[in-house]
A and B are shown apart, each in its own frame.
Chain A
Amino acid sequence: MKILDEKIECISSEGMRSLQLERLQRLVEYLTKNSQFYQGKLEETGVAAGDIRELSDLTRLPFTVKADLRDNYPFGMFAVPMREIAEIHASSGTTGNPTVVAYTKKDIELWSMVMARAISIAGGTPDDIVQNAYGYGLFTGGLGVHYGALELGASVVPISSGGTKRQLKLMHDFGSTIITCTPSYALFMAEEAREMGYDPRKSPLKVGILGAEPWSDNLRREIEAAWDMTALDIYGLSEIIGPGVAQECPYKNGLHIFSDVFLPEIIDPVTGRVAEEGESGELIITTLTKEAMPLLRYRTGDIVTISHGTCECGRTLPRISKILGRTDDMLIIRGINVFPSQIESVLLQVEGARPHYQLVVDRIRGLDTLEVQVEVGEELFSDEIKQLQGLKEKIRKEIESVLALVVDVKLVEPKTIARSMGKAKRVIDRRSA
């Protein structure tokens, strides 16, 4: 299979390290000059641009966390004036400020380049028709894949998410060969297809580039059997660029991370110690070449392992594992990041009390579902059905508007939610992740 950017994707480890060092030095200089946020942060840490002499000096640089992005809402993280900004995205809703990310024109080119690589690593070529069923809009999934498909020279069908019947019709009529969506949606579509009397194994799809939520090898086997296609994992997060941070190749030995532009570290999330090869830890990424909103040592919260060494596909890019877990309590449901604290503050707003609640995440017919169970204590209880139904509806609507996610609300009796050590267990995840 042809390698799109062979000079980088198959670079020697020395070559990669010197490229990374050179770019890191330039980045710290750039931030010192242009980013008010990092000027302060670097000063606090007492590190100057000249202090970065070798790659291991990276660990002297300060971490960046998601709270930094929220605290500097909306534009405090930008390292360029607004006239240089080409595109702005924002996370779908949080209780506090959304996370804003921005791109210069050159950043969009970078995004296009890494996404073109990703599609190519998955086996895509200019001959492919990419049916892009990631959501278009403020969510970075849709546009990221779109730019990559254009850059690669493939044909892209910007169908966006949802509308399963139309997805299936166009897939069939257009002859789409690559589908890009969440893994749960890929499985859901296969079931819908069968229900419509259409055998998904006869679809023109060859490859699914699936991501935006964690998924297991079991689910991969299920999806591959359902569609008779290769299902490959893609990793990304909007803070870094969106989709296109790492991509699995057909050998399925982990996801090739584009370390020439996104410098990875794996550390123990508690002690900060650098993890050994193959040892799991939190993935930290430094964006080496971004302009609008470069990030130093961004803590992704995702737990992975990393391995170096040449892959069977010929690439030398390091490979990260699928996401093994999170350092916080974040859930990813249908590609949307959900923190239990968001639901807690909705309940607080709706009721003024702090009711006990539990989130039950499940995968029903391939689609992730979120059920919010709320304990009806004495203060919430009403003698009238319509009051309780109204309460339930109000909670549901509020949560849906905050999360931009369809949820079920269930009122349950007090003390039904299991408490361990006096603390309620907030999340039950029944997905086979």
Chain B
Amino acid sequence: MYVKQISVFLENKAGRLWELTEVLRDNGLNIRALSLADTTDFGILRMIVNDPEQAFQTLKETGFSSAETDVLVVEIPDRPGGLAEVLKIMTRDGINVEYMYAFVEKKKGNAAVVMRVEDLERTISVLTEGGVTILKAEEVYAM
């Protein structure tokens, strides 16, 4: 159920993000979704790629500080209120979201929301009970 997200430490320096995307390109790695969190002097790039293991190794070898993090990707209907329903369930059970970002998956046209929470196990059971679809890792990588 857990999806491996790749996070990379980036200094706020012109061209750094571009260099990273070139490394991914040269290694045939495709980005499914990404988000960039920034502070005044550094940022963290978080992304879902087609092959997280290879991406992690490649980035390591090319000198980037990166990490693999377990996240959940839930599928929600792409309509007003879709995300609110999911968050309602989570809030009711006191589950906090550390961060999240979303993309639209191509096949069904639904929204896919990547989220990082503290207790993955519990979140999965709460969401499953609430009827929310949690995407399998392989599905996400292949999207």
- B11 and A378 contact, CB distance less than 8 A: no
- B98 and A411 contact, CB distance less than 8 A: no
Q: Which residues of A contact B69 (CB under 8 A)?
A: 383
Encoded as 1 (CB less than 8 Å from any A CB) or 0, chain B from 18 to 51 comes to 0000000000000000000101011010100000
Considering the chains assembled together, what is the distance between the CA atoms of A412 and B9 in angstroms? 9
Residue in A383, A389, A413 whose CB lies within 8 Å of B7: A383
- B10 and A413 contact, CB distance less than 8 A: yes
Considering the chains assembled together, what is the distance between the CA atoms of A377 and B8 in angstroms? 11
Q: Which residues of B contact A381 (CB under 8 A)?
A: 7, 9, 65-67
- B65 and A383 contact, CB distance less than 8 A: no
B65 — nearest CB in chain A belongs to which residue? A381
Encoded as 1 (CB less than 8 Å from any B CB) or 0, chain A from 374 to 416 comes to 0011101111110011000000000000000000001111111
- With A376-B9, A381-B9, A389-B39 already in contact, the answer to whether A414 and B63 are too (CB < 8 A) is yes
Question: Per DSSP, are chain A's interface residues mostly helix, strand or loop, or mixed?
Answer: loop
Most B CB atoms within 10 A — which of A378, A383, A414, A416? Answer: A383
Most A CB atoms within 10 A — which of B7, B9, B66? Answer: B9
Considering the chains assembled together, what is the distance between the CA atoms of A383 and B46 in angstroms? 8
- B65 and A377 contact, CB distance less than 8 A: yes
B2 within 8 A of A: no
Considering the chains assembled together, what is the distance between the CA atoms of A276 and B67 in angstroms? 59
- B65 and A376 contact, CB distance less than 8 A: yes
- A385 and B41 contact, CB distance less than 8 A: no
Q: Which residues of A contact B16 (CB under 8 A)?
A: 413
Considering the chains assembled together, what is the distance between the CA atoms of A412 and B12 in angstroms? 9
Q: Which residues of A contact B37 (CB under 8 A)?
A: 385
Residue in A384, A385, A410, A413 whose CB lies within 8 Å of B65: A413
- B63 and A382 contact, CB distance less than 8 A: no
B88 within 8 A of A: no
B122 within 8 A of A: no
Residue in B5, B66, B99 whose CB lies within 8 Å of A378: B66
Considering the chains assembled together, what is the distance between the CA atoms of A25 and B65 in angstroms? 63
- A411 and B42 contact, CB distance less than 8 A: yes
A410 — nearest CB in chain B belongs to which residue? B41
Q: Which residues of B contact A410 (CB under 8 A)?
A: 41
- With A376-B9, A383-B69, A384-B98 already in contact, the answer to whether A415 and B41 are too (CB < 8 A) is no
Considering the chains assembled together, what is the distance between the CA atoms of A416 and B67 in angstroms? 19
Considering the chains assembled together, what is the distance between the CA atoms of A107 and B57 in angstroms? 65
- Considering only residues 362-380 of chain A, those with a C-beta below 8 Å from chain B are 376-378, 380
B101 within 8 A of A: no
A380 — nearest CB in chain B belongs to which residue? B65
B63 — nearest CB in chain A belongs to which residue? A415
Q: Which residues of A contact B11 (CB under 8 A)?
A: 411-413, 416
Q: How far is the CB of B77 from chain A (nearest CB, A)?
A: 29
B98 — nearest CB in chain A belongs to which residue? A384
Considering the chains assembled together, what is the distance between the CA atoms of A377 and B63 in angstroms? 9
For chain A, the count of residues having a C-beta within 8 Å of the partner chain is 18
Q: Which residues of B contact A413 (CB under 8 A)?
A: 9-11, 16, 63-65
- Considering only residues 106-137 of chain B, those with a C-beta below 8 Å from chain A are 116
Residue in B44, B66, B98 whose CB lies within 8 Å of A388: B44
Q: Which residues of B contact A416 (CB under 8 A)?
A: 11
- A383 and B41 contact, CB distance less than 8 A: no
A412 — nearest CB in chain B belongs to which residue? B11
- With A376-B65, A411-B42 already in contact, the answer to whether A383 and B116 are too (CB < 8 A) is yes
B116 — nearest CB in chain A belongs to which residue? A383
Considering the chains assembled together, what is the distance between the CA atoms of A380 and B66 in angstroms? 10
Q: How far is the CB of B7 from chain A (nearest CB, A)?
A: 4
- With A376-B9, A413-B11 already in contact, the answer to whether A385 and B67 are too (CB < 8 A) is no
Considering the chains assembled together, what is the distance between the CA atoms of A431 and B115 in angstroms? 47
Q: Which residues of B contact A414 (CB under 8 A)?
A: 63-65
- A385 and B63 contact, CB distance less than 8 A: no
A378 — nearest CB in chain B belongs to which residue? B65
- A385 and B39 contact, CB distance less than 8 A: yes
Most A CB atoms within 10 A — which of B39, B42, B66, B99? Answer: B42
Encoded as 1 (CB less than 8 Å from any A CB) or 0, chain B from 57 to 83 comes to 000100111110100000000000000
Considering the chains assembled together, what is the distance between the CA atoms of A414 and B21 in angstroms? 18
Q: How far is the CB of A406 from chain B (nearest CB, A)?
A: 17
- A383 and B67 contact, CB distance less than 8 A: yes
Residue in A378, A389, A412 whose CB lies within 8 Å of B67: A378
- With A376-B9, A412-B11, A416-B11 already in contact, the answer to whether A388 and B67 are too (CB < 8 A) is no
B69 — nearest CB in chain A belongs to which residue? A383
Considering the chains assembled together, what is the distance between the CA atoms of A413 and B65 in angstroms? 7
Considering the chains assembled together, what is the distance between the CA atoms of A385 and B116 in angstroms? 13
Given A376-B65, A412-B42, 5 extra CB contacts under 8 A: A377-B65, A380-B65, A411-B11, A413-B9, A413-B16
Interface residues of B (CB under 8 A from A): 5, 7, 9-11, 16, 37, 39, 41-42, 44, 46, 60, 63-67, 69, 98-99, 116
Question: What 9 pairs across the A-B complex have the smallest Cβ distances?
Answer: A383-B7, A381-B65, A383-B69, A413-B11, A376-B9, A415-B63, A381-B9, A411-B42, A376-B65
12 pairs from A and B in contact (CB 8 Å cutoff)? A376-B65, A381-B7, A381-B67, A383-B5, A383-B67, A385-B37, A385-B39, A388-B42, A389-B39, A413-B9, A413-B10, A413-B11
